[in-house]
């Protein structure tokens, strides 16, 4: 057996403690698979004395996480501190500059700074790995980087935020409204006190931009993700979707073609025949469509200390084996900068929900706005009045350019007939 | 850009031609990802002049496939001839002995001879890779070998035969009986003229034994797979299963624990909440349960030239990158030989279907046999008489040892009250 791979860990929250627990529990098996043992040699966290359920006295303690980059006994630095910038980024730069491989679960940092970190890793000829940054324990980075490497990937999309999926699933099963389920999720610890990163789609957008770059060989472009969340989905939307044969899911969707790079996080209606429709609770899932392999589907736990630790240690095993290449599957200089695709030219079907006054002529006004914008209506459902006297109108469009629906809604949104802002979702094809 | 990886291909059926087509179409992208081009230099097949839709005149033609092992220009031999022994095996041994890496889609050969081939590959310090041998285009070998490498895998199971899944899905959607759907599948080319390898579970057993070895670090043990197929499933079983909230799937299931290695291919009732229930048509899917990652689920096309070529070329890319290790994730000497687990000790629920004479006392006889064997009945459904006057009785048992159900059926199978052999399926937990 060769020399151990020596690891320094910054951040000992649930994931950091989980990594130590995993290496303790499966250490012998991991050494057989990796060809050598993986040993933690040093750790850093805010509070040394906190009880984490694992013995950390056997490791070097370092107060300043950035100092781990200079730890003479460490081959690899694992960053589990979090945050797009600050100490996490300082540590990443310092570790790579010091010629140490670097493993992280930090999606925000990779979404914002992955490209420059990959440059630094290439320069130092060390590994930069971030399997745990996307979809938790699911080996989807590996699946795209290596498993699907023979393919031109035409589309990558999925359910990338467990909190949103938990909320939507719970609304579906209980018929509850968004706010009630969110409060419950916060009480159970499934949602943060400030949930906006999750429910407004930012977290999913971080992950989507990483998947897009890996899939298409494009430069990471987080700022170009059109990001929407689930705040405006109400129980009645989910019920209408169910009646139409769909489930509502927050989907991150990316495509690259001659028109540029398209990246969007938005609620979608997913048909029951599509595997994403059956992804419930806090589970994550990713679909990749390749020009030879067809549709690949990966599903698993998107968060939690065990699954995240599993992904972090899988990266360490690759490093121990010496089996790692460029962070984005190809050298950074090969990654192409793509213009943002014009989403208005995308064709698809849409679900539109309007709350309107219950009076003569309103339906005619809606129908005229749709017609004027060139939207062809597949079905229109009007339900009886709500408590405030307004009426819910749900429209499902035929396939057409997204631009037309946007135009129709823009026109309608100024109308006094509407009692609230229009809400719309895209409909995923089978 | 470094030297190309030079490839010799034996077998130019749909998959062999697909590999050439893929390398032609995606060659530039693959070179960027692999760090160097992948070039076919020599080919061998039965008929040189056959039109395969790809130009093979640019490659060296070799009449005897085994001679590819000695081709001076080739770094890797790809075997797409098929068959557990014969020319495929001769080529594999010759290639590895000649110090060439070896890639195959041949599940039968790997199931029977993978261990000795892995020994030869280790001795020669070259790659032995077979991603395409299990579940077609799905990168599940990689997912287990590397993606889930940090975990002790407790259970691996899945839908491993597309022909059976197509037949079961079609029986489900059309209400047709087995023979009718099989004939239709044969006419469409989805099933072989001699379909027994598929429908009797042998093909799934090949794949299962490969997955089990990779998952548990056990020596491959194809002969120990308890193998059953789908011949005895009738339309009425699928209808009863549906009424109970299940779908019928042919599941390959492997577990390793203190009691030994359990490997079985058999029809199962899969609850609708389980992702395998939503795997339809010829799609394959694999579930791996790890002690840290929880349940991972991989789904995709299990066959076809495009998906299979995608997996073959993914292996070539790993070899081009120099990122390959032992075939079974750890050195062959580390693989442990496990005794066969006693399946009678397994606990679970079962579905039992009996065809019985329509006369007084038959139900009492069945109930007594179940009671005497210690089987606790959860529900019993008796349906009106069939054309031959016999009556169908379906029993769902409570959880209990499988041994008890087997005992009850053994006792009943000698009874003159039965008009046909009992049929049973296991019920998969959620």
Q: What is the ipTM of this complex?
A: 0.96
Q: What percent of chain A has pLDDT over 90?
A: 93
Instruction: Note whether B5-133 and B140-301 share their fold.
Output: no
B118 in Cβ contact with B112 (< 8 Å): no
Top residue of A35, A284, A292, A309 to mutate, by most chain B CBs within 10 Å, is A292
DSSP per residue, A244-274: HTEEEEEEEEEEEETTEEEEEEEEEEEETTS
What is the C-alpha to C-alpha distance for residues B376 and A377, in angstroms, rounded to an integer?
55
What is the C-alpha to C-alpha distance for residues A107 and A84, in angstroms, rounded to an integer?
8
What is the band of A1 on the pLDDT scale with cuts at 50, 70, 90? low
The model's pLDDT over B47-93, given as tens digits with 9 standing for 90+, comes to: 999 999 999 999 999 999 999 999 999 999 999 999 999 999 999 99
CA end-to-end distance (rounded Å), chain B: 50
The model's pLDDT over A69-79, given as tens digits with 9 standing for 90+, comes to: 999 999 999 99
Is the per-residue pLDDT at B330 higher than 90? yes
Q: Which residues contact B253 (CB under 8 A, 6 or more apart)?
A: B155, B156, B157, B208, B262, B263, B264, B265, B266, B268
More confident residue, A258 or B162: B162
Task: List the binding residues of B.
Answer: 10-17, 107, 192
- Which among A292, A310, A329 has the least Cβ separation from residue B292? A310
Tell me what pLDDT residue B343 has. 86
Is the per-residue pLDDT at A211 higher than 70? yes
Q: Do A26 and B291 touch (CB under 8 A)?
A: yes
Q: What is the mean pLDDT of residues B343-355?
A: 93
A-contacting residues of B 345-374, CB under 8 Å?
Answer: none
The model's pLDDT over A143-199, given as tens digits with 9 standing for 90+, comes to: 999 999 999 999 999 999 999 999 999 999 999 999 999 999 999 888 888 999 999
What is the C-alpha to C-alpha distance for residues B129 and B316, in angstroms, rounded to an integer?
9
Tell me what pLDDT residue A17 has. 97
Tell me what pLDDT residue B189 has. 84
- B149 lies within 8 A of chain A by CB: yes
Is the per-residue pLDDT at B386 higher than 80? no
What is the C-alpha to C-alpha distance for residues B187 and A365, in angstroms, rounded to an integer?
54
Q: Does A107 belong to an annotated binding site?
A: yes
Range of lowest pLDDT (A91-100, A128-137, B240-249, B336-345):
B336-345
Q: Which CATH class is domain B345-427?
A: alpha beta
Residue B207 is a catalytic residue = yes
Top residue of A27, A105, A148, A150 to mutate, by most chain B CBs within 10 Å, is A150
Q: Do B314 and A18 touch (CB under 8 A)?
A: no
Task: Return the residue of A nearest to B307 by Cα.
Answer: A293
Question: Number of H helices and number of E strands within chain B?
Answer: 12, 17
- B151 lies within 8 A of chain A by CB: yes
Range of lowest pLDDT (B184-188, B213-217, B405-409):
B184-188
Q: Do A32 and B295 touch (CB under 8 A)?
A: no
Distances (CA, A) of B338 to A29, A258, B111, B141, B158: 16, 54, 16, 21, 21
Q: Do A142 and B146 touch (CB under 8 A)?
A: yes
Tell me what pLDDT residue B175 has. 95
Average pLDDT over chain A reads 96
- Helix H or strand E encompassing B408: helix B402-413
Q: Do B325 and A292 touch (CB under 8 A)?
A: no
Is the per-residue pLDDT at A272 higher than 80? yes
**CATH classification of B5-133, choosing from 3.40.50.980, 1.10.540.10, 3.50.50.60, 3.40.50.720?**
3.40.50.720
Strands (DSSP E) found in A164-313: 226-227, 246-257, 260-271, 283-290, 294-301
DSSP per residue, A102-161: EEE--HHHHHHHHHHHHHHHHHHT--EE-GGGSSTTS-HHHIIIIITTTSPEEEEEEE--
Domain boundaries, chain A: 5-133, 140-301, 345-427
Q: Do A139 and B143 touch (CB under 8 A)?
A: yes
What is the C-alpha to C-alpha distance for residues A285 and A137, in angstroms, rounded to an integer?
11
Task: Return the residue of B nearest to A27 by Cα.
Answer: B150
Dihedral pair phi/psi, residue B201, rounded to 5°: 90, 5
More confident residue, A295 or A385: A295
- Which among B290, B298, B312 has the least Cβ separation from residue A310? B290
Q: Does A133 belong to an annotated binding site?
A: no
A and B: number of Cβ contacts within 8 A: 202
- Which among B22, B285, B292 has the least Cβ separation from residue A292? B22
Task: List the binding residues of B for NADP(+).
Answer: 10-17
CB-CB neighbors (< 8 A) of B33 in chain A = 149, 217, 329-330
Q: Does A123 belong to an annotated binding site?
A: no
The model's pLDDT over A335-345, given as tens digits with 9 standing for 90+, comes to: 999 999 988 88
- B275 lies within 8 A of chain A by CB: yes
Tell me what pLDDT residue B1 has. 56
Q: Do B314 and A148 touch (CB under 8 A)?
A: yes
- B240 lies within 8 A of chain A by CB: no
What is the band of A258 on the pLDDT scale with cuts at 50, 70, 90? confident
State the catalytic residue, choosing from B100, B142, B170, B207: B207
The model's pLDDT over B259-300, given as tens digits with 9 standing for 90+, comes to: 899 999 999 999 999 999 999 999 999 999 999 999 999 999
Average pLDDT over chain B reads 96
CA dihedral angle for residue B406, residue B410, residue B412, residue B415, rounded to 10 degrees: 170
Q: Which fold has domain A140-301?
A: Dihydrodipicolinate Reductase; domain 2 (3.30.360)
Q: CA of B147 to nearest chain A CA: how many angstroms apart?
A: 5
More confident residue, A373 or A257: A373
| Contacts by residues A218-221 (CB-CB < 8 Å, ≥ 24 positions apart) | A218/A256, A218/A261, A218/A335, A218/A336, A218/A337, A218/A338, A219/A115, A219/A335, A219/A336, A219/A337, A219/A338, A220/A110, A220/A111, A220/A114, A220/A115, A220/A328, A220/A335, A221/A261, A221/A263, A221/A337, A221/A338, A221/A340
Is the per-residue pLDDT at A414 higher than 90? no
Sheet with strand A76-79: strands edge to edge: A60-61, A38-44, A5-10, A76-79, A101-104, A128-129
Q: What is the mean pLDDT of residues B208-236?
A: 97
- B2 lies within 8 A of chain A by CB: no
What is the C-alpha to C-alpha distance for residues B3 and B320, in angstroms, rounded to an integer?
10
Q: What is the mean pLDDT of residues B385-401?
A: 90
- At B340 the three-state DSSP class reads strand
A-contacting residues of B 94-133, CB under 8 Å?
Answer: 131
Q: What is the mean pLDDT of residues A78-99?
A: 97
Top residue of B147, B280, B290 to mutate, by most chain A CBs within 10 Å, is B147
- B7 lies within 8 A of chain A by CB: no
Tell me what pLDDT residue B310 has. 98
Tell me what pLDDT residue B196 has. 95
Is the per-residue pLDDT at B424 higher than 80? yes
- At B338 the three-state DSSP class reads coil
Packing angle of the helix pair A305-321, A14-34 (nearest 10 deg)? 40
More confident residue, B1 or B430: B430
Task: List the binding residues of B for L-homoserine.
Answer: 192
Structure tokens at B119: 């020994």
Q: What is the mean pLDDT of residues A213-225?
A: 97
């Amino acid at each position: 057996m060769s020399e151990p791979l020596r690891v320094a860990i910054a951040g000992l929250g649930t994931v950091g403690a989980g990594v130590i627990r995993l290496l303790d529990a499966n250490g012998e098996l991991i050494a057989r698979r990796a060809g050598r043992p993986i040993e933690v040699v040093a750790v850093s966290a805010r509070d040394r004395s906190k009880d984490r359920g694992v013995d950390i006295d056997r490791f070097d303690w370092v107060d300043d996480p950035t100092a781990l980059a200079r730890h003479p006994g460490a081959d690899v630095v694992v960053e589990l501190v979090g945050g797009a910038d600050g100490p996490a980024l300082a540590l990443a730069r310092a570790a790579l500059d010091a010629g140490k491989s670097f493993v992280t679960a930090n999606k925000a940092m990779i979404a914002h700074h992955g490209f420059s970190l990959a440059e630094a890793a290439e320069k130092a000829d060390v590994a930069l790995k971030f399997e745990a940054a996307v979809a938790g324990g699911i080996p989807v980075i590996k699946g795209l980087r290596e498993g699907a490497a023979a393919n031109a990937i035409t589309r990558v999309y999925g359910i990338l935020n467990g909190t949103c999926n938990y909320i939507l699933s719970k609304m579906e099963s209980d018929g509850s409204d968004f706010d009630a389920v969110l409060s419950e999720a916060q009480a159970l610890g499934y949602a943060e006190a400030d949930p906006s990163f999750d429910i407004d789609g930012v977290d999913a957008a971080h992950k989507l931009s990483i998947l897009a770059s890996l899939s298409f060989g494009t430069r990471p472009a987080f700022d170009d993700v059109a990001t929407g969340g689930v705040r405006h989905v109400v129980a009645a939307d989910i019920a209408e979707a169910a009646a139409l044969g769909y489930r509502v899911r927050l989907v991150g969707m990316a495509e690259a073609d001659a028109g540029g790079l398209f990246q969007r996080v938005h609620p979608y209606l997913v048909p029951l025949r599509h595997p994403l429709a059956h992804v419930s609770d806090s589970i994550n899932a990713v679909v990749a469509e390749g020009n030879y392999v067809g549709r690949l589907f990966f599903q698993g736990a998107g968060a939690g200390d065990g699954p995240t630790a599993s992904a972090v240690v899988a990266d360490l095993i690759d490093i121990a084996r010496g089996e790692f290449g460029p962070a984005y599957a190809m050298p950074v200089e090969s990654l192409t900068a793509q213009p943002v695709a014009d989403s208005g030219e995308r064709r698809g079907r849409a679900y539109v929900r309007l709350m309107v006054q219950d009076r003569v002529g309103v339906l005619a006004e809606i129908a005229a706005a749709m017609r004027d914008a060139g939207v062809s209506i597949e079905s229109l459902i009007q339900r009886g009045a709500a408590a405030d006297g307004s009426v819910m109108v749900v429209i499902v469009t035929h396939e057409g350019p997204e631009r037309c629906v946007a135009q129709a809604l823009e026109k309608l949104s100024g109308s006094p007939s509407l009692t609230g802002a229009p809400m719309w979702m895209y409909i995923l094809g089978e």
